[in-house]
């Protein structure tokens, strides 16, 4: 018998709410990956301010999806998921959470750049620092690893 047992969702807060929170978590991760991929694809060495303003809107979707993923993830961890002990005892979960937090920190520099450079004459060209693209690519790599960690957890790896 494992040291950490998962609580059945039906005994938690109801199976419907459990499914809803998991679905929101799942969809928000899709939106997060998609918005980072869009930023990476649309980014150029030089961009017009109106293009940067468009990236700022995409970045806003990125931020909203990250907040939704984090919020629904916390709900799963502390209320609707398999229970606090299940997640807290799993080192794979800690790697997954660390990847998310590092990606969030990496997103700060591009966000600040987009917000500061979006205003002005729409046709004015702006040079985009190399670090903006680098941070977005690193962010994407980390966020794409998160589902892998989730699959590893679902297979029971990392449990004591």
- For each of the chain's 160 residues, which pLDDT tens digit applies? 455 555 554 454 567 888 899 999 999 999 999 999 999 999 999 999 999 999 999 999 999 999 999 999 999 888 876 777 777 888 999 999 999 999 999 999 999 999 999 988 888 999 999 999 999 999 999 999 999 998 998 887 777 6
Task: Answer whether residue 62 is part of any domain.
Answer: yes
For residue 57, the enclosing domain spans: 14-154
Task: Answer whether residue 74 is part of any domain.
Answer: yes
Task: Answer whether residue 2 is part of any domain.
Answer: no
Q: Give the dihedral of Cα atoms 34, 98, 21, 23; nearest 10 deg.
A: 30
Question: What's the number of domains the chain is made of?
Answer: 1
Task: Answer whether residue 4 is part of any domain.
Answer: no
Q: For strand 125-127 and strand 46-48, is the pairing parallel, antiparallel, or unpaired?
A: antiparallel
Task: Answer whether residue 32 is part of any domain.
Answer: yes
Task: Answer whether residue 26 is part of any domain.
Answer: yes
Task: Answer whether residue 124 is part of any domain.
Answer: yes
Round to whole Å and give the CA distance between 157 and 60.
35
Alpha helices in the chain (DSSP H): 15-42, 49-75, 84-88, 91-106, 108-117, 130-154
Task: Answer whether residue 6 is part of any domain.
Answer: no
**Considering the entire predicted model, what is its pTM?**
0.83
């Amino acid at each position: 018998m494992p040291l950490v047992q998962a609580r059945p969702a039906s005994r938690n807060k109801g199976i419907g709410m459990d499914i809803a929170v998991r679905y929101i978590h799942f969809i928000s991760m899709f939106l997060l990956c998609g918005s980072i991929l869009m930023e990476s694809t649309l980014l150029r060495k030089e961009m017009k301010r109106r293009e940067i303003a468009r990236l700022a809107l995409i970045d806003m979707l990125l931020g909203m999806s990250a907040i939704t993923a984090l919020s629904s993830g916390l709900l799963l961890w502390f209320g609707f998921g398999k229970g606090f002990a299940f997640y807290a005892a799993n080192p794979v979960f800690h790697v997954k959470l660390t990847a998310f937090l590092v990606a969030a920190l990496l997103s700060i520099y591009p966000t600040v750049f987009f917000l500061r450079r979006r205003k002005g004459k729409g046709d004015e060209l702006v040079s985009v620092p190399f670090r903006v693209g680098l941070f977005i690519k690193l962010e994407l790599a980390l966020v794409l690893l998160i589902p892998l960690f989730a699959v590893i957890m679902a297979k029971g790896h990392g449990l004591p």
